[in-house]
Amino acid sequence: MIEKVAINKVFPNSSNPRTIKEGKFKKLVNSIQDFPEMLELRPIVVSKDMEILGGNMRYRACKEAGLKEVYIIKADKLTDKQIEEFIVKDNVGFGEWDWDVLANDWDINELEEWGLDGFPFEEEPKEEHNKLQDTFVVPPFSVLDTKKGYWQERKKYWRNLIGDEGESREGALAKGDTNIMAATNNGVSLLDPVLAEIANKWFGLDNCNTFDCFAGDSVFGYISDALGNTFTGIELRQEQTDLNNQRLKGSKSKYICDDGQNVLKHIKEDSQDLLFSCPPYFDLEVYSDLKNDASNQKDYKDFLQILDNAFTGALKCLKDNRFAVIVVGDIRDKQGFYYGFADDVKNIFIRNGAKLYNEMIIAESIGTLPQRVGRYMHNRKVGKCHQNVLVFYKGNPKEIKKIYKKLDFKNIIIDESADI
């Protein structure tokens, strides 16, 4: 029977054969603080004399976390021989992790925080790879695999720097699969910071002007600024704009609260070196109840017209012989057919003089998709776990070598076993 007792009523086993490293111990303390309900599900096992037989590390972590009470279960009918046997067997793990399932269904950074390690697909990054001045961070292939260790390490690095958890977008209504850039604990999506970094490094210039007419969160602006560029973002919601500017306080970059369709009111024509945008995916996530919010449109044609107006203006702000990087993911209509969103965006840019130069697939962690795909497949809809990164070029491609410096590949980290 599980009991709740004062923590000073139990005492550790002086003969406990288990040890724990400092880093792991800190993770255990954090895990208990984040999820104390787990302690009732895994009570500490004690003898009739209240000596701990199983759970010595949890006991130490509970004390470190400042808990005054712990859950226990008494093993008061065991012989001395059985107690000795239990202490060892309780800590033996016979099973093995299915690393593929873990990589697809869970966030690797969370697993690390919970104390799991030994990922076979992770590689320790080279010291120079962690520096912002690295010219290159991921393999330049048409498939960008965000599940790889090199991507996850870089993502963790940026997340810790930025601190954007989508606070101002908490409560955004997601109808189905969220914008799979990166889901947060607040249930909203944020741009993957590694994608933002490589967009700046691959398709921007040193100390250049970058902008976005559908700015959203602070990720791209923060990273572009950190890499030495001057970013201007147009964001429709005041709360998001204020939060973004707070994160960029003291920098040259800024966010302006206005409709992206008014981009020419704030940015001069032929003044920008890189356009990056991840626009709303119609009503997949509704960010506000504002009438001019692209995500709040009832009709797909009205939604697309807002994007058309904004990108037409944005391309006038972009200098000749410069790139535009647009992240899109196709969406279904009420009957279940795809709208052809990616093709519609391509047509907007081509019509305005920017031709498609690269197209990449960004492959995401599957997350909860395995739990949902059974329902989808009843209607023969496969689970979607990728997005499209469309790279347009406005100008003459022959000028690229003259304007853009040769990239340095020496710091690249490639998983040689990657099947890409």
At residue 187, the pLDDT reads 43
- What's the pLDDT band for 83 if we cut at 50, 70, 90? confident
At residue 38, the pLDDT reads 86
**Helix or strand (DSSP H, E) at 108:** helix 108-113
At residue 16, the pLDDT reads 80
Return d(Cα 179, Cα 111) in angstroms, integer. Answer: 22
At residue 150, the pLDDT reads 79
**pLDDT above 70 for 252:** yes
| pLDDT tens for each residue of 311-356 | 999 999 999 999 999 999 989 999 999 999 999 999 999 999 999 9
| Most confident range, picked from 31-35, 105-109, 411-415 | 31-35
Q: What is the DSSP letter of 287?
A: -
Residue 123: strand, helix, or coil: coil
- What's the pLDDT band for 185 if we cut at 50, 70, 90? very low
Return d(Cα 348, Cα 353) in angstroms, integer. Answer: 9
Return d(Cα 392, Cα 36) in angstroms, integer. Answer: 50
Residues facing residue 388 across a β-bridge? 328, 361
Q: Answer for the pair 210, 200: CB distance below 8 angstroms, yes or no.
A: yes
Residue 127: strand, helix, or coil: helix
Average pLDDT for the chain: 83
Q: Answer for the pair 234, 215: CB distance below 8 angstroms, yes or no.
A: yes
Query: What is the layout of strands, in order, in the sheet containing 254-257?
Result: 143-145, 355-363, 386-394, 318-328, 272-277, 209-212, 230-235, 254-257
- Ranking 28-32, 296-300, 393-397 by mean pLDDT, the lowest is 28-32
Residue percentage of the chain with pLDDT more than 90: 50
At residue 153, the pLDDT reads 84
At residue 393, the pLDDT reads 98
The structure tokens listed for 75 are: 């093993």
**pLDDT above 80 for 200:** yes
Q: Are strands 285-286 and 52-54 parallel, antiparallel or unpaired?
A: unpaired
**pLDDT above 60 for 247:** yes
- What's the pLDDT band for 384 if we cut at 50, 70, 90? confident
| pLDDT tens for each residue of 301-310 | 999 999 999 9
**pLDDT above 70 for 184:** no
**pLDDT above 60 for 182:** no
Q: Answer for the pair 383, 376: CB distance below 8 angstroms, yes or no.
A: yes
**pLDDT above 70 for 29:** yes
- What's the pLDDT band for 221 if we cut at 50, 70, 90? very high
At residue 128, the pLDDT reads 42
Return d(Cα 18, Cα 401) in angstroms, integer. Answer: 60
Query: What distance lies between CA 73 and its chain's CA centroid?
Result: 40
For 132, 191, 342, 410, the CA distances from 194, given in Å and listed in that order, are 12, 9, 22, 18
C-alpha dihedral sign at 292, 293, 298, 304: positive
At residue 224, the pLDDT reads 96
Scanning 318-411, the segments in alpha helix (DSSP H) are: 341-351, 369-377, 400-403
- What's the pLDDT band for 105 if we cut at 50, 70, 90? low
At residue 71, the pLDDT reads 93
For 229, 281, 288, 361, the CA distances from 232, given in Å and listed in that order, are 10, 22, 21, 26
- Ranking 295-304, 321-330, 354-363, 380-389 by mean pLDDT, the lowest is 380-389
Structure-token match 């130069």, residue found: 357
| pLDDT tens for each residue of 132-162 | 334 557 888 899 988 887 788 888 888 888 8
More confident residue, 240 or 117: 240
The identity of residue 373, as a single letter, is V
The candidate with the shortest Cα–Cα distance to 36, out of 57, 5, 7, 61, is 61
CATH numbers and ranges of domains, the chain: 2-89 (3.90.1530.10), 102-403 (3.40.50.150)
Q: What is the DSSP letter of 338?
A: B
Q: What is the DSSP letter of 392?
A: E
Residue percentage of the chain with pLDDT more than 70: 81
Query: What distance lies between CA 67 and its chain's CA centroid?
Result: 32
At residue 10, the pLDDT reads 92
- Ranking 93-97, 106-110, 284-288, 317-321 by mean pLDDT, the lowest is 106-110
At residue 278, the pLDDT reads 95
